[in-house]
Amino acid sequence: MSALVEEMCENASFQPGDRVKTLRGSGHGVVKRVLEDGRLVWQADGSHTELTALPETLMKEDGP
């Protein structure tokens, strides 16, 4: 539990191409672009739909 909190507190700087997952781990995908206001446009694995999220709601995914 503490590892999750520490990971959330990190100031992650997302870049297009970064692998991400939702905080609950139910969604995985790739960052497509970072908007001027800091929100992320990402695409879930297996989907063609682009989603918009606050960076606080996503975590970088380890590994390929």
In angstroms, what is the C-alpha Rg of the chain?
Answer: 11
18's CB contacts (< 8 A; 6+ apart) are 30, 31, 60
* pLDDT of 5 strictly over 70: no
Percent share of the chain, pLDDT over 90: 70
Q: Which phi and psi (to 5°) does residue 19 adopt?
A: -80, 135
Considering its fold, how many domains does the chain have in total?
A: 1
| Domain enclosing residue 25, as ranges | 2-60
Model confidence, pTM? 0.78
Q: What is the mean pLDDT of the chain?
A: 87
CATH number, domain of 50, equals 2.30.30.30
* pLDDT of 10 strictly over 60: no
Strand bridging mode 58-60 / 50-53: unpaired
Give dist(CA 30, CA 15) in Å, integer: 10
pLDDT tens digits, one per residue of 13-24:
899 999 999 999
